[in-house]
Amino acid sequence: MNNNKTPRTFWSMFTERFLSDRLAVAGAIIVFTLFFVAAFSPLLVRHDPNFIDSKSILAPPSAEHWLGADDLGRDVFSRMVYGSRISLSVGFVAVGIATVIGLVLGALAGYFGGWVDEVIMRFVDIMLTIPTFFLILAVIAFLSPSIYNIMIVIGVTSWMSVARLTRAEFLTLKERDFVTAARAIGVSHTGVIFRHILPNAMAPVLVSATLGVAGAILTESALSFLGIGVQPPTPSWGNILTQGKDYIEIAWWLSVFPGLAILITVMGYNLLGEGLRDALDPRLYR
């Protein structure tokens, strides 16, 4: 009787663990739903998000305006659907910038060590002592508040955790046998870093990036709420909230619905990130 079993791959075990986590699956559903809404925005709305209808000023939720209308008569549902594009764009571009900077600096610090590590990590420590949100406010004050500036500023002020995580992974991986073997056959430092170590260090970085998207969306919403983020008439969840705060007693929908959108989005990314972290943990596959 043959008791041999086909060895299971890492990805099959990862998929099984991820799908068994209901909260992680719920987070993935939320995230993919947001992607769908952002990608097919023109097909999901009945009104132009910037169309001003004087007859519908502060109209409550109805069959015509599913989530009501704002102080200019614009359809809130349409503006929130198009606002999802802004939030997701800011989240992914900002996290992309932060991840690239953090990967490069963390890889250099962890791989070379010595004075390179000291210089980079002391710079990281200095950056961590500065409150990130106030640093963003200070930078935005000198720049015109646009979506592109917000993406760049959030990205270049939030790379420190990625750098520290990447450095820690490199410090562990560079002592492994496969790295020693690559050096022994003459592989260059660049080849060792990008072909051998970095692919093996990406799992925790991926989790960090997923969680970082939620933070970037929150930061963009906060900046837009303060009036120095995405500028009207371009819709974003933050500036919809700003418009609603003056009418919160008579038009609750202007604050409740964008607030719920931000809450559900951030919760979805956090659940997805936590699920990825658990499913990618190598200690669970021993």
Given CATH 2.102.10.10, say whether it is the number of domain 11-285.
Answer: no
Q: By C-alpha distance, which of 25, 7, 43 is closest to 274?
A: 25
Asked whether residue 282 carries a pLDDT value surpassing 80, the answer given is: no
Q: By C-alpha distance, which of 40, 132, 141, 147 is closest to 87?
A: 147
pTM: 0.86
Asked whether residue 286 carries a pLDDT value surpassing 80, the answer given is: no
CB atoms within 10 A of CB 114: 8
Q: What is the pLDDT of residues 230-257, one digit of tens each?
A: 887 888 888 888 888 888 888 899 989 9
First to last CA, the chain: 27
Percent residues over pLDDT 90 in the chain:
33
Q: For residue 252, what are the CA distances in angstroms to 61, 228, 281?
A: 10, 23, 43
CB burial string 128-156: b at 16+ within 10 A, e below: eeeeeeeebeebbeeeebebebbbbbbbb
Task: Band the pLDDT of 113: cuts 50, 70, 90.
Answer: confident
- In the chain, DSSP assigns E strands to none
